[in-house]
Structure 1
């Protein structure tokens, strides 16, 4: 049998145990497309909500200048990556590749979150930063913040789902890679609140979170809109293979007329 231990310890994962586990498994190198990155940068921003300076990452597909007028996909990172790592992971190149394959253009934007969770705890509130400040920073850059989606992996996957549950209608779609969820946690409890939000789920079959993710899918109020379950573990070796389909899903959701 494959390693699938977190079904029993789902609530512990959500409480922060997943952070160290994620770091032990995030070893495989991503498979990055050859497309060039467009306008991609990391800059410091003062988060008044969190009382600290964070790194703010943005990426625009090549050929679309500074991205003015483009919709936004918010990026919520996992436990061992930060915005300074996003270029190395090839996020800007994946974005250009998606557009060159025919996806409607959008921008990526993400800021430094907490080490273990994207929710209010211990006097910190990275979730509020994503809800209030990151869109304001995006608007100041000229991006279209009336059209938002969210994408994250591991704790960022669960954080993206929780963001959509907490602020219903804030994002049009959520793409969650191997979200750190478990029966009994806040994300499971909030699943009914995802009605009307497109949800994509991707998880490797060798990932210890696999059973939890499949259980969460069953808790959704409607069938998932995108995603798949293939051979792969809890690392960017697998996640990088899922980025193209996730970006196609995000682009389509952001391009829909409403």
Structure 2
């Protein structure tokens, strides 16, 4: 696997609406969603060459690799570090941040991760790195009928790469938005309690029936059933936080998911929709929860 420096980054999403306006109107954007899918067959571990990543801003590293699990495509990654830290700073723990439908590795930056990490340092919270990675516009972080598997990319390619760069991947955290919220639940459960320190699922793309699923979320009803996160024992054994706006189209399914867990998770159900403004408002509390 060859790592390629990539210092480009799309401009941070402009959020012009105020929080109060979003609370009343952002739920109209709830139609922009994402769905889930089948479990990936484990891939043989791929040897990693020393990273050639470059830093283009303080406390941020960017780069890319060619992912076998994703069919040989270039896969970008971003690591946001707390102020004053490096990837070698005493084996920083890693939180893997999974983007939503039509998103990419930079989504966690758009949500304000860099500022939130700086706030945690000022508050004296334990430091950790947040890692974003391209998973594909509608991969839903699982194995697809075409053979690609973004979930396997995270577990079998990204995590070993991060370990080779000096981050602590013995136990990792997961967080994700919409499609990525579903993916965080699925991948955290797949790694299990021994390797997953915590999961924060934000506006997770959950469905109560195959008929309700967004296009391309699953390849078939069998695929949807095989990759459901409902009833997974591991999710009652891993520290879990679930956040969802009460005007979000996924709110009913998210409530149903929370109600079936044997161990009640931390939850935040507040007025809001399926949009960047609401996600940015929630982020500081979510990272604080992950830190503790």
TM-score range, shorter chain: 0.7 to 0.9
| Residue 42 (1) aligns with residue 66 (2) | no
Q: Cα offset for 1:87?
A: 3.3
Contact 1:192 1:219 in 2 (8 A): no
CA offsets, 1:213-253, max 9 Å, x none?
111001212100x231111110110011111111111111x
Q: Partners of 1:91 and 1:156 in 2: how far apart?
A: 15
Structure 1 or 2, whichever has the larger Rg, is 2
Aligned in 2, Cα 1:178/1:140: closer, same or farther, shift over 3 Å? same
Aligned length: 225
Q: Cα offset for 1:190?
A: 4.2
1:185-196 equivalence runs, <5 A: 185=225, 186-196=227-237
Contact 2:106 2:132 in 1 (8 A): no
**Residue of structure 2 aligned with 1:146, choices 159, 167, 170:** 170
| Residue 200 (1) aligns with residue 241 (2) | yes
CA offsets, 1:133-189, max 9 Å, x none?
111111121111113100000000000101122232331210000000122553343
Contact 1:158 1:180 in 2 (8 A): yes
Unpaired stretches in structure 1, ≥5 consecutive residues? 16-36, 253-258
The DSSP-based 3-state class of the residue aligned with 2:75 is strand
Partner of 1:244: 284
Q: Partners of 2:107 and 2:174 in 1: how far apart?
A: 18
Q: Partners of 2:106 and 2:285 in 1: how far apart?
A: 24
Q: Partners of 1:101 and 1:178 in 2: how far apart?
A: 26
Q: Partners of 2:36 and 2:96 in 1: how far apart?
A: 21
Q: Partners of 1:213 and 1:195 in 2: how far apart?
A: 15
Partner of 1:167: 191
Q: Cα offset for 1:99?
A: 2.3
Q: Partners of 1:152 and 1:79 in 2: how far apart?
A: 11
Q: Partners of 1:205 and 1:67 in 2: how far apart?
A: 41
Note the aligned Cα RMSD (angstroms). 2.5
**Residue of structure 2 aligned with 1:135, choices 142, 145, 159:** 159
TM-score, structure 1 normalization: 0.79
Q: Cα offset for 1:192?
A: 2.5
Contact 1:38 1:93 in 2 (8 A): no
Aligned in 2, Cα 1:63/1:211: closer, same or farther, shift over 3 Å? same
Contact 2:78 2:131 in 1 (8 A): yes
TM-score, structure 2 normalization: 0.71
